[in-house]
A and B are shown apart, each in its own frame.
Chain A
């Protein structure tokens, strides 16, 4: 599939948004969906729908096969060793909550330390914060440098004898910094520390190879990977998923239920209680196929060129200040304009059909550190083209004019 014409695979771009062509620069928030994914949801509900894994009738078997087929596709796409290392969740948030909760139940003890970074999204901080209260766990933060990246030295500095878990994002949703997960994991494992990766932004923009990264857990957000909302994936090494207790109880996750005892199902059922987001899982297979048809290497190359182009253009625009300048960067360009609040920027851009995000992007720790309350963020996907950044720049100039900036 040719990346230069990929935009036509996404029906949303056929519509006018308030009489404008849509310039969608909010993919770090959620990506748009290709037609194949939308069609698959419709097709499944129209022709194949049934609950999975329970009944023996024809549709149940067909739906179960489709559901498990996605698990195999994901396993292959992220190069996990075992199919049972793939757990479907309602989102990356639930995946991270699952890890924090179950490690808290069985593995962590009072006084243990969790190491995060100042770049973390609230989803990779709040679940660990609960353990502060319930288990008296201490949380430390590895600092960012002036380029908005977290070098491995800054992580090493904060490791103590009590550090049990390092929970870090793969790609920052604000500065775009790509963290050296493989090296961090090597360092962590040499000290017996578990590595949990928030891969929300890694999923759509980077090559995912679990055996190469060697991390213990990796959380994926499917709706940021051209897939449906309401679906996330937790990759976990088999030994951990086998050892840790279940997260939620309910139907489908048990082996045997008696009045005085309950035993739990095998992987991955143990972590998939209740009726899952069946249609979403089945449609996500199309997202994987879509990504494979372009090829992650091509996506990385295309997006790198785009981000470089965007950076060049915005750097030339005085009064725009880019946030972070990581050497290894992907996916997002965050910025501020002196004298114009990000929300005002977003409203003015919206008038021209340009969708960006304004706010703290669920990263208040980072914004506090940068001493700003909010920022504007343009984030890309496979469908963006260079002229999107030209239009962004033009509308930024309109903001400056309205706010009387030179």
Chain B
């Protein structure tokens, strides 16, 4: 096990300077997520246009380097995608964190995949997987717009 794999340069950089850490104006979908065990919270905002394309995505919240970097990279990659593409990326990412050795989707460019794969280091740290996946589960909830708060413990 190796801390360098977990705290790669790109994670530390996104963790320190998260992209899209703000609230989208005129968002039309949103959801909150929390991890009651550690107190991490995230609020994801989405603006889907009439063609169901993600015009803007942002998040507010606080958490560890892993959770902030994950939300930051997620919002960067989802912006500009259609809702179906977004769903495919989410599924692909969660599948990779859970069991798949690599990402399968063809939607993402190679360097985007490299960015996401930087988060694969959490696989060796079971207690930290939730840090990496909270914002993604919250994004699913926002897209489904069921208004349900996402919790890592239910």
Residues of A that sit less than 8 Å from B by CB: 18, 339-344, 347-348, 351, 358-360, 364, 367, 373-374, 402-404
Contacts and interface: CB of A to CB of B under 8 A. Distances in A.
Contacts of A358: 38
Contacts of B27: none
Given A339-B16, A341-B63, 7 more contacts: A343-B63, A344-B64, A344-B66, A347-B128, A348-B3, A373-B40, A403-B65
B101 to A, nearest CB: 23
Nearest to B38: A359
Contacts of B37: 359
B38 A347 contact: no
B1 to A, nearest CB: 7
Given A344-B64, A373-B62, A402 B7 contact: yes
B97 interface: no
Interface string B1-23: 10100110000100010000000
Contact of B39 (A18, A344, A367): A367
A347 B125 contact: yes
A347 B39 contact: no
A264 B65 CA distance: 56
Contacts of B12: 402-404
B131 interface: yes
A372 to B, nearest CB: 9
A348 B66 CA distance: 13
Contacts of B62: 373
A343 B3 CA distance: 13
Interface in B79-132: 125, 127-128, 131
A394 B38 CA distance: 24
Contacts of A374: 38-40
B3 A402 contact: yes
Given A348-B3, A402-B3, A373 B41 contact: yes
Contact of B38 (A339, A343, A404): A343
A68 B54 CA distance: 67
The 3 closest A-B pairs by CB, nearest first: A341-B64, A343-B64, A359-B38
Contacts of A342: 38, 64
Contacts of A359: 37-39
Contact of A347 (B6, B16, B40, B63): B6
Contact of B1 (A18, A341, A364): A18
A30 to B, nearest CB: 16
A339 B7 CA distance: 14
B112 to A, nearest CB: 24
Which of A339, A364, A373 has the most CB atoms of chain B within a 10 A radius of its CB? Answer: A373
B1 A351 contact: yes
7 contacts: A341-B68, A342-B38, A343-B128, A343-B131, A344-B65, A402-B12, A403-B12
Contacts of A360: 38-39
Given A373-B62, A402-B12, A364 B125 contact: no
A325 to B, nearest CB: 23
Contacts of B63: 341, 343, 373
